[in-house]
Amino acid sequence: MGTIGRRRLLESAGVLLAAGGIPSGGIAAPAAEPNPGKPLQLADFEPRSMLHVPETKVERSRYPLIDVHTHLSRVAKNTHGVGIGEVMQYSAPVEAVLPLMDRKNIRIMVNLTGGVGKGLDEAIQKFQTPHPDRFLTFTEPWWERSNQPGYSQFQADEIVRAHKVGARGLKVLKTLGLYLRENVSTGPLVKVDDKRFDGMWEACGSLGIPVAIHVSDPEAFFLPIDGFNERFEELNNHPDWSFYGRDFPSNSALLEARNRVLARHPKTQFIVLHVGNDAENLSYVFDKYQDRILFGTDAVPHGTETPQQIFTDQLYEIYYRFLETEDEYFDYAPAKVPPQGRWRIYGLGLPDGILKKVYHENAARLLQVKM
């Protein structure tokens, strides 16, 4: 049952309860006895759902897919979390990626972290040049030059150069706002709406290429890593992902700065990643913004650190199940314990028209590709 079906059921259940009170032997269970058992490590708690609900396997997306958010290459980061230089790291060669794309009906993968300069040239040559109909590459800002005189013009010119060699957009990691400092690694944090980047945003607008931007992070990452944090296990596994305390701006200050950038550059098209980095506030987003939603997994070939992102068949099957079916209460990541918080998800059962837009029509229009 989809969101609408579920909503109706809850409404009618509400009426039932209001009319008849709580049936005996139903919801009102007797208070639990104190647990005399041994303590259990949270990491060992792997409860299996006892719900008898349908499990639909969706091996291929119903329509061809453009995954607008993947990381096939990346620039090495310095110890302060800022990507520096033109040496690229690759998580998989193109031959390893293509068979999975074919199995999962992925027509195009957008490699957002294509780097700069010679690194960008190389990333394009590895994926996009041999398979221009399967891979697109985005460039990134030259963070290490951001404190040098003339940076604004240099960066704008570099966008033009990147576009000439084949870059189809610009990716801005959360580096901006959370890692990049006035002296690159030291000094005060550079603001998301700092004017030195205006030339860069404008250059993308004039060239008609989108900016994929990640600003801030989940709200829980700005709170203490304690027993009240809904993403405790994730932050406990990755304490460096926490932006609590120190000199970090608040989540809302970061998003407001981002919104000022969007307002200042109305001719530039921004892809606000991770549901606008505001996924806690989803409300009817799929119906209302069906012409502006893009499919992106944040997939990274290989690794075990972040199971919700590893480029596998299972990863895509979860997304397809979420979007296409009305299955209830299933895992959002191929992992024994939900890695980003102990909740499960419900299928949206999107209608065909919306599904097609989300799978490729919206992205094809934005990236100017033919499907």
Q: CB of residue 212 vs Zn ion: minimum separation in angstroms? A: 9
Q: Which stretch binds Zn ion (CB under 5 A): 121-129, 234-242, 291-299, 361-369?
A: 291-299
**Which residue's CB is nearer to Zn ion, number 13 or number 76?**
76
Q: Which stretch binds Zn ion (CB under 5 A): 145-153, 188-196, 296-304, 348-356?
A: 296-304
Total chain residues near Zn ion (CB under 5 A): 1
Q: Which of 333, 355, 290 is nearest to 64 (CA)?
A: 355
Q: CB of residue 245 vs Zn ion: minimum separation in angstroms? A: 25
Alpha helix segments (H runs only) across 125-214: 151-164, 175-178, 198-207
Q: CB of residue 208 vs Zn ion: minimum separation in angstroms? A: 23
Q: CB of residue 254 vs Zn ion: minimum separation in angstroms? A: 16
How many whole angstroms separate alpha carbon 138 and alpha carbon 166?
Answer: 9
**Which residue's CB is nearer to Zn ion, number 175 or number 242?**
175
Q: CB of residue 297 vs Zn ion: minimum separation in angstroms? A: 9
How many whole angstroms separate alpha carbon 244 and alpha carbon 225?
Answer: 8
Q: CB of residue 94 vs Zn ion: minimum separation in angstroms? A: 19
Contact 198, 238 (CB under 8 A): no
**253 CB contacts (<8 Å, ≥6 apart)?**
none
**Which residue's CB is nearer to Zn ion, number 144 or number 298?**
298
* Six-digit token string for 206: 């004039």
User: Pick from 122, 230, 298, 328: which binds Zn ion (CB under 5 A)?
Assistant: 298
**Which residue's CB is nearer to Zn ion, number 204 or number 300?**
300
- Shortest-Cβ-distance residue relative to Zn ion: 298
How far is the CA of 90 from the CAs of 78, 116, 144, 170, in angstroms?
17, 14, 21, 19
**Which residue's CB is nearer to Zn ion, number 157 or number 298?**
298
How many whole angstroms separate alpha carbon 193 and alpha carbon 168?
Answer: 23
**Which residue's CB is nearer to Zn ion, number 198 or number 298?**
298
Contact call for residue 194 and Zn ion (CB under 5 A): no
Contact 326, 349 (CB under 8 A): yes
Contacts of Zn ion in 18-77 (CB under 5 A):
none
Contacts of Zn ion in 231-290 (CB under 5 A):
none
Contact 73, 55 (CB under 8 A): no
**Which residue's CB is nearer to Zn ion, number 122 or number 298?**
298
Q: CB of residue 299 vs Zn ion: minimum separation in angstroms? A: 9
Instruction: Let me know if 54 is exposed, middle or buried by CB neighbors in 10 A (0-12, 13-18, 19+).
Output: exposed
Q: CB of residue 272 vs Zn ion: minimum separation in angstroms? A: 13
Q: Which stretch binds Zn ion (CB under 5 A): 39-47, 85-93, 294-302, 324-332?
A: 294-302
Residue 2 gets the label, from left (phi > 0), alpha (psi -120 to 50) or beta, of beta
**Which residue's CB is nearer to Zn ion, number 256 or number 298?**
298
**Residue 170, beta-bridge partner list:** 139, 211
How many whole angstroms separate alpha carbon 125 and alpha carbon 64?
Answer: 24
**Residue 212, beta-bridge partner list:** 171, 271
**Residue 73, beta-bridge partner list:** 90
Q: CB of residue 274 vs Zn ion: minimum separation in angstroms? A: 8
**Which residue's CB is nearer to Zn ion, number 194 or number 298?**
298
Q: Which stretch binds Zn ion (CB under 5 A): 124-132, 297-305, 319-327, 334-342?
A: 297-305
Site residues, Zn ion (CB under 5 A): 298
